[in-house]
């Protein structure tokens, strides 16, 4: 998967466009200034970009029931959903979405416990008990009058209450500060005048972040909403530590180490457009961030990222490759024990009889799988033991143009056959990934590849999977073997994003001269599939 330049770096550079760098004249055509924000009074670093606030100090948090008191403390969440209500995520019942979210919270932190009830359970003793010491209540699609009144009466002592698609009578509350939904602003509305002014300002920033994330309607962002609230009002969440820059130290590092790269980027039209675009994105919206990068790629943007992020880590970011979910690889293929050579052959796939190895039919990661016409090229290189992966895909730029992009990953075998380490330098930032071949049909009619990845210098970690076929068409979703493969990845069918493969003429395919393909196995000749372009 590709890497997006953090919006914090773009925002800081835009600030520099108004300043005089050492030994230079003031820059022309000043860009929109970015407001620096400080939290927590004196001695707290300012941020160069808008975004979610840092974790609120314990003494400033609301003292509701079940308040976690240490970074290692359990975060107890209760979710109540309307019985039989349907989500906008492929018409999946909200109860199923929230139960799956509860499982996915554990991947981030084992200390998160979320129990899910329906509004038919309002008289349930267990629900009363859980509400008495939970840290957060999440109301989803609650409109029944009796349920609304019951939840109002039984949530008065809970410091954090967030409500999605529910009755306006159910008020949002963060750290003891109420939020009144009016329907005139975003889905959370404006703040009621309850609580300290600093608390209101803090809550407004949190609400803006989770509002935009929730409206993206995917499982990653639903989980993210809960993590943001926990990070701000209950206890720090390690996954969110990279959302803010270090302020003055970031600017100082950029000027000291990357002056020429900054100037080149600011004076290059494409690089400048990329920064302006990134500055308009939420730091948490990977789709927006990566569209900006892919739309305005330039050597100057790559040089800027390489200097600021990869070489000097001016944003002081860090990210590790996730380890959960733990996905086991395929072990037997066509009645043969999977070896490293056979696993590589599965990646090579249809390359030889076709111009590509596989085409992506669907994927699980919302940041990347919305790009149309995704081709995969896997091949063995000239050097002994070398193996390469080159994804080719389309990007719809912000001007509405369709352009092709291509990346080149080095691939190394991991210890277990069917698992691999991938690495790529993408727009000046190194991404490292761990891939698993979950399963491939015996006739090569489909395959499922799972990945964990991180761009350490960009402070970004991610998880996803791609469902591939020879021609990009969707396989039979009722196939028990495919269902089992998705289950191994803890992926629900409704989490998959279908890739648009309808208009893919002119893809820049082809492999380097001297490349080698299959070693032991390849798609059987009995399978005839046309090369649809």
pLDDT digits (tens, 9 = 90+) for 240-249: 776 654 567 7
The tally of CA atoms less than 13 A away on the side-chain side of residue 43 is 0
* CA–CA distance, 203 with 52 (Å, rounded to integer): 10
What pLDDT score was predicted for residue 8?
60
pLDDT score, position 401? 86
In the DSSP assignment, the letter for residue 496 is P
pLDDT at 193 (0 to 100)? 33
Close Cβ partners of 249 (under 8 Å, ≥ 6 residues apart): 45, 316
The tally of CA atoms less than 13 A away on the side-chain side of residue 414 is 17
Spatial CA neighbour of 253 closest among 302, 316, 300 = 316
Give the residues across from 409 on adjacent strands. 389
Q: Which residues contact 190 (CB under 8 A, 6 or more apart)?
A: 179, 180, 182, 184
pLDDT value for 484: 96
Secondary structure element (H or E) that encloses residue 113, with its range: strand 112-118
φ, ψ of residue 480 in degrees (nearest 5):
-60, -35
Question: DSSP labels for 261-278?
Answer: HHHHHHHSHHHHHHHHHH
- Name 420's bridge partners: 413, 435
What is the structure's pLDDT at 191? 33
How far apart CA 95 and CA 87 sit, in angstroms, is 9
Q: Treating both helix axes as pointing N-terminal to C-terminal, what angle do 269-280 and 248-267 enclose, rounded to 10 degrees? A: 140
Task: Quote the tokens at residue 331.
Answer: 């072990």
Please state, in angstroms and rounded to a whole number, the distance separating the CA atoms of residues 453 and 323. Answer: 9
Q: What is the pLDDT of residue 201?
A: 61
- The pair of structure tokens assigned to 502 is 């309808």
What whole-number distance in Å separates Cα of residue 100 and Cα of residue 178?
28
Supply the pLDDT for residue 120: 95
Q: Are 117 and 78 in contact (CB under 8 A)?
A: yes
CA geometry: angle 41, 45, 51, nearest 5 deg: 95
Beta bridge pairs of residue 388: 379, 410
Contact between 476 and 482 under an 8 Å Cβ cutoff? The reply is: yes
Burial 161-171 (b: 16+ CB within 10 A, else e): bbbbbbbeebb
| pLDDT tens digits along 139-172 | 999 999 999 999 999 999 999 999 999 999 999 8
Token pair recorded at residue 259 = 């002056």
CB 469 within 8 A of CB 359: yes
DSSP code at position 307: I
Structure tokens at 479: 């196939």
Rg (CA), the chain: 25
Q: pLDDT (tens digit, 0 to 9) for every residue of the chain, 533 residues total?
A: 555 566 566 666 665 555 444 333 333 332 322 333 333 332 323 334 334 444 444 444 444 333 433 346 899 999 999 999 999 999 999 999 999 999 999 999 999 999 999 999 998 899 999 999 999 999 999 999 999 999 999 999 999 999 999 999 999 899 888 875 444 433 333 333 333 334 566 677 777 778 778 888 889 999 999 998 998 899 988 877 766 545 677 888 999 999 999 999 999 999 999 988 888 876 667 777 888 888 888 999 999 999 999 999 998 888 899 999 999 999 999 999 999 999 999 999 999 999 999 999 999 998 777 789 999 999 999 999 999 999 999 988 888 888 999 999 999 999 999 999 999 999 899 999 999 999 999 999 999 999 999 998 888 889 999 999 999 999 998 899 999 999 999 999 999 999 999 999 999 999 999 999 999 998 974 333 334 44
Token duo for residue 225: 């909403």
Q: 516: which DSSP letter?
A: B
Q: What is the pLDDT of residues 266-305, one digit of tens each?
A: 999 999 999 888 888 766 677 778 888 888 889 999 999 9
Distance CA 60, CA 175 (A): 8
CA distance linking residue 95 with residue 100, whole number of Å? 9
- DSSP character string of 9-49: HHHHHHHHTTSPPTTSPPPSSPPPP---B--SSTTSPPBSS
Q: How far apart are CA 376 and CA 471, in angstroms?
A: 11
Cα–Cα distance measured from residue 152 to residue 173, given in angstroms and rounded to the nearest whole number: 12
3-state helix, strand, coil in the chain (%, to 5): 30, 20, 50
Give the bridge partners for 337, in sequence order: 332
Taking the CA atoms of 157, 102, 168 and 82 in sequence, report the sign of the dihedral they define. negative
Are residues 48 and 37 in contact, defined by beta-carbon separation less than 8 angstroms? no
| Ramachandran class of 168: left when φ > 0, alpha when ψ lies in -120 to 50, beta otherwise | alpha
Say if residues 150 and 115 touch (Cβ distance below 8 Å). Answer: no
The token pair that represents 244 in the structure block: 């803010």
Q: Report the pLDDT value the prediction gives residue 149, as an integer from 0 to 100.
A: 96
């Amino acid at each position: 998967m590709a890497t997006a330049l953090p919006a914090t770096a773009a925002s800081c550079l835009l600030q520099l466009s108004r300043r005089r760098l050492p030994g230079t004249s003031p820059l022309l055509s000043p860009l929109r200034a970015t407001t620096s924000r400080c939290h927590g009074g004196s001695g707290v670093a300012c941020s160069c970009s808008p975004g979610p606030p840092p974790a609120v100090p314990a003494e400033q948090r609301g003292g509701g029931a079940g308040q976690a008191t240490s970074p290692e403390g359990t975060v107890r969440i209760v979710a109540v959903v309307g019985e039989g209500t349907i989500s906008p995520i492929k018409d999946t019942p909200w109860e199923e979405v929230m139960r799956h979210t509860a499982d996915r919270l554990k991947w981030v932190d084992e200390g998160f416990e979320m129990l899910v009830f329906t509004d038919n359970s309002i008289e349930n003793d267990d629900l009363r008990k859980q509400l008495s010491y939970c840290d957060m209540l999440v109301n989803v699609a609650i409109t029944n009058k009796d349920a609304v009144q019951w939840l109002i009466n039984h949530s008065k002592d809970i410091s954090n209450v967030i409500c999605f698609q529910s009755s306006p009578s159910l008020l949002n509350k963060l750290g003891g500060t109420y939020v009144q939904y009016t329907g005139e602003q975003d889905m959370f509305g404006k703040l009621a005048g309850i609580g300290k002014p600093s608390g209101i300002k803090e809550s407004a920033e949190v609400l803006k972040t989770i509002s935009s994330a929730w409206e993206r309607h995917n499982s990653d962002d639903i989980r993210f909403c809960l993590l943001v609230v926990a990070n701000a009002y209950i206890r720090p969440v390690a996954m969110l530590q990279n959302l803010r820059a270090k302020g003055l130290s970031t600017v100082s590092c950029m000027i000291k180490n990357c002056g020429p790269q900054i100037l080149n980027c600011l004076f290059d039209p494409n690089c400048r457009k990329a920064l302006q675009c990134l500055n308009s994105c939420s730091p948490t919206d990977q789709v927006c961030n990566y569209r900006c990068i892919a739309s305005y790629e330039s050597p100057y943007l790559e040089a800027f990222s390489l200097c600021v992020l990869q070489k000097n880590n001016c944003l002081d970011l860090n990210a590790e490759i996730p380890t959960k979910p733990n996905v086991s690889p395929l072990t037997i293929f066509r009645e043969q024990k999977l070896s490293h050579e056979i696993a590589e052959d599965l990646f090579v796939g249809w390359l030889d009889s076709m111009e590509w190895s596989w085409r992506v039919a669907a994927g699980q990661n919302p940041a990347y799988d919305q790009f149309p016409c995704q081709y995969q090229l896997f091949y063995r290189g000239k050097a002994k033991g070398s193996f390469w992966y080159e994804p080719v895909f389309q990007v719809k730029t912000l001007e509405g143009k369709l352009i092709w992009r291509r990346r080149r990953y080095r691939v190394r075998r991991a210890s277990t056959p069917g698992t691999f380490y991938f690495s790529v330098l993408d727009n000046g930032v190194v991404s490292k990934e761990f891939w698993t071949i979950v399963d491939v049909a015996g006739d090569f009619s489909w395959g499922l590849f799972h990945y964990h990845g991180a761009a350490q210098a960009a402070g970004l970690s991610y998880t996803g999977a791609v469902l591939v076929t020879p021609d990009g068409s969707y396989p039979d979703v009722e196939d028990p073997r495919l269902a089992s493969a998705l289950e191994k990845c803890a992926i629900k069918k409704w989490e998959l994003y279908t890739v648009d493969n309808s208009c893919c003429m002119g893809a820049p395919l082809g492999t380097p001269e001297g490349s080698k393909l299959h070693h032991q196995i390849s798609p059987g000749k009995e399978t005839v599939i046309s090369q649809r372009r």
